[in-house]
Structure 1
Amino acid sequence: MTVTGRPPRLLPAEELAGEPAEEPAEEQGGGPRTLLRLRPEVVVTAQGDDLELTHPWGRQRVHALGAATVQRLEALTRESADLADLERLGDGGRLLHLLRRFPYLVITTLADRFGEPIVTAVPIARSASLPDGAPAPETLVLSRFAYLRRLPEDHEGACVLESPMAPFRLTLHRPSVGAFVAAVTAARPVTEASRLAGLDPAAGRSLAALLAETGLLDDGTAGDPPLWDFHDLLFHARSRPGRHDYPTGGVYAHPEVAQLPAVPGAGARESGDGIDLPVPDWDEVIARDPLLTEVLEGRSSVRDYAAAPVTLDQLAELLYRVARIRRIVPADPEDPHGYDVVDRVYPAGGATGELEIYLSVVRCEGLVPGVYRYDAAAHRLRPRPFSGPADEAAFRELMTAAWRATGCTVDPQVLLTVTSRFGRLSWKYSQIAYALTLKHVGVVYQTLYLVATAMGLAPCGLGSGDTDAAARALGLDWTAESSVGEFLIGSRPAHLPRRATRFADIVGQARSSG
């Protein structure tokens, strides 16, 4: 569940403590009120003076709290309470002590004197600490990893401020808060940022303190990690549990959308029956393949080709041994989460079979230069003729990008572009879908390396490619199916062996030096 910090209903102070409510601080000339409540996923199970807390991170038992504290904690699952009222409780602040013991379960809201929310801080990691109203910094600047985004429509257009460096997510309930955040993208005094955002100084100080306590500012001491790019750190933090509270894994978050077919149909620019590829003979392959250890030790990237190019038969065997579909297990029609399982040579999470392979051919004996899609179920190449000069220009861009990725060392013979039909994964998996497809690409790379080496071809995985050129050259909508890996295949020069004859390592050297 994504907690957006919806407007809270206040728990009266007399209900909390049996005492008359005092005038809110803001009416006495102070700043915004601080409201606390438990996350909506928290379940409080009372057992006399004891209770059990069940929440997204697990479960805890707390003993000997006293019936009054148990009752007050249960109330915080339904309503918000003013921090000032909690601090006036006559039982020694036992409830506040408990909230500070489990700060990752507590939502903090800055509200105006009427209890209407201004900004809400939602803990998203167990490392979160309860904001304690520390003084605001005099000058502040936003972390370079912080970002502002709109949540989907089912969250009523809520806008949130997040950062992979912060254990909190802030929901901004008013445009003036967004303006304050924009003002501190450059280092500014709190008073100046408040004036630019149209906030009164007290509200600006409270907001600045909350930004500091929730980890969304560059604090100028430890600083932001210098070796991370923004997108890399965000991707890492959001695609693994621990630094966020979004639903993760096989949660089937899109039941209203039909799962994409296991085998894609004819695509753009495809027509006709295609080119049926020869199926390799098992006995012949087994008779000539080197041993696995010889291939593992002999594997290397080869950026040098023989004079004669790779052949169609060689490409056919490589694709068959690496990328074909071995079988499809149909979905159970009675299972709402069922989908066709795709079994391939390489392992893949969920067996979704989202990866496809396209061939961009410059030189191949038996194959006309151009673009082809590998039909992994029929072991067939589907030509994708260029529809005009723009497609042909995109093809040249794609090959130029591959040439540059090799350090401009080799003119490609055949470029294999690995694409992902993202919907096959994201239909089932949340948060981890893109990370999972990249793990699959890595498995495909290793399988291509091993099989190509065993066959005596020249393999070379590339570290980058041109997403836009690939989409135009291959005829794809890049948001639905996009390139996620590039791999060159060519003819291996005769002087390069395809197998190793011994282990190569630096074990002896490392041991003698260390």
Structure 2
Amino acid sequence: MARYKQQRDFLKSNFNEFKNIKTDRMMKIEQPPIVKPYDKSSKIIDLPEVSEKVVKNNDIYKCIKERRSTRFYSDESISLEELSYLLWATQGITTTNKAGITLRTVPCSGATHSFETYLFITNVEGVKTGVYRYLPVEHKLLFMFELDGIDKKIDEITLDQPFVPNFAKKAAVLFVWSTIPYRSEWKFDITAHKKILIDIGHVCQNLYLASESIESGTCAIGIYDQEMIDSLLGLDGDEEFVLYLAAVGKKRD
């Protein structure tokens, strides 16, 4: 059991050690940007205003009870209104205070929000197939690039799934969340990393429940090729790297 010890210790609270650390925030080092910058000449897609009209099942009890990891999808596309809702439900900004701190639809340790949302879109109405990034401040999509053979590339990235092989490429959209750890490290130093993992769980659970409310299905993916997807998205694998994925699509009867 000794081989488990290091990882088990990581799961424990180390607040007593943290109390003796002077964080970058305490040392008045400038806070990192809350979102990644982007070229203003990039192709930007306006997302529809988020509306409860897309919700088909607003019974939260039923959504929680019926939530399952969905690996079988129909050919039906997701509407842009539905995608807008899912993005808002997972990283939407509800309040920005005078200090520039954003409060979002998901809880996050110290409101540090270390995540960026990338999308591999294959079947969303009115949206060209390709790779995109969500801009939460503007609530818009940034088009990054087309990807030849996107379904095959998703297959390669998601490796051999244990229950239903090759299911991710059949989804309408693949959510990909990266983390920029320093956003949390700046405030929480060595305790940041456990918090980051807890926080990404909040994000994905919101996606599950929001998908259920629009009669769609989600399946979280923790098995993926780290180097391949980081390289594909232009991430350095250290200051920013992919942390979690989730496939979303309309459920198959």
TM over 0.5: yes
Amino acid at match of 1:371: V
Within 2, Cα distance between the matches of 1:394 and 1:310? 17
Amino acid at match of 2:112: T
Query: Does 2:6 correspond to 1:247?
Result: no
SS of alignment partner, residue 322 of structure 1: helix
8 Å CA contact 2:159, 2:223 repeated in 1: no
SS of alignment partner, residue 418 of structure 1: strand
SS of alignment partner, residue 65 of structure 2: helix
- Structure 1 unaligned segments of length 5 or more: list them: 1-224, 332-339, 496-514
TM-score by length of 1: 0.44
Q: Structure 2 vs 1, CA of residues 278 and 362 (structure 1 numbering), >3 Å: closer, same or farther?
A: same
SS of alignment partner, residue 429 of structure 1: helix
Query: Does 2:224 correspond to 1:465?
Result: yes
Amino acid at match of 1:404: D
- CA deviations 1:317-343 (Å, max 9, x no partner) are 211222211222233xxxxxxxx4220
Within 2, Cα distance between the matches of 1:477 and 1:468? 9
- 1:239 is displaced (CA, Å) by 5.8
8 Å CA contact 2:86, 2:207 repeated in 1: yes
For this pair of structures, how many residues does the alignment match?
249
Choose the corresponding residue for 2:58, options 280, 283, 290.
290
- CA deviations 1:132-159 (Å, max 9, x no partner) are xxxxxxxxxxxxxxxxxxxxxxxxxxxx
Choose the corresponding residue for 1:491, options 233, 245, 250.
250
Within 2, Cα distance between the matches of 1:473 and 1:394? 11
Q: Structure 2 vs 1, CA of residues 248 and 439 (structure 1 numbering), >3 Å: closer, same or farther?
A: farther
8 Å CA contact 2:204, 2:246 repeated in 1: yes
Choose the corresponding residue for 2:179, options 420, 427, 430.
420
- 1:292 is displaced (CA, Å) by 0.8
Report what 2:208 is aligned to. Answer: 449
Within 2, Cα distance between the matches of 1:438 and 1:444? 10
Q: Structure 2 vs 1, CA of residues 384 and 246 (structure 1 numbering), >3 Å: closer, same or farther?
A: same
Query: Does 2:153 correspond to 1:408?
Result: no
Amino acid at match of 1:280: V
Relative contact order, higher structure (CA 8 A, sep 6+):
2
Within 2, Cα distance between the matches of 1:351 and 1:250? 20
- CA deviations 1:165-216 (Å, max 9, x no partner) are xxxxxxxxxxxxxxxxxxxxxxxxxxxxxxxxxxxxxxxxxxxxxxxxxxxx
Query: Does 2:9 correspond to 1:237?
Result: yes
Amino acid at match of 2:139: H
Larger Rg: 1
8 Å CA contact 2:67, 2:212 repeated in 1: yes
8 Å CA contact 1:249, 1:431 repeated in 2: no
- CA deviations 1:343-399 (Å, max 9, x no partner) are 00111110112112100123333211111000011111101125xxxx868995444
- Structure 2 unaligned segments of length 5 or more: list them: none
% identity of equivalent residues: 23
Choose the corresponding residue for 1:341, options 97, 101, 119.
101
Q: Structure 2 vs 1, CA of residues 249 and 448 (structure 1 numbering), >3 Å: closer, same or farther?
A: farther
Within 2, Cα distance between the matches of 1:303 and 1:285? 22
Report what 1:307 is aligned to. Answer: 75
Within 2, Cα distance between the matches of 1:302 and 1:463? 15
Within 2, Cα distance between the matches of 1:328 and 1:460? 31
- 1:276 is displaced (CA, Å) by 0.6
- 1:264 is displaced (CA, Å) by 2.2
Within 2, Cα distance between the matches of 1:256 and 1:239? 29
Aligned counterparts, 1:93-132, within 5 A: none
8 Å CA contact 2:130, 2:150 repeated in 1: no
Q: Structure 2 vs 1, CA of residues 398 and 468 (structure 1 numbering), >3 Å: closer, same or farther?
A: farther
TM-score by length of 2: 0.86
Provide the aligned C-alpha RMSD in A: 2.8
Aligned counterparts, 1:64-143, within 5 A: none
8 Å CA contact 2:157, 2:229 repeated in 1: no
Q: Structure 2 vs 1, CA of residues 290 and 249 (structure 1 numbering), >3 Å: closer, same or farther?
A: farther
Within 1, Cα distance between the matches of 2:85 and 2:124? 14
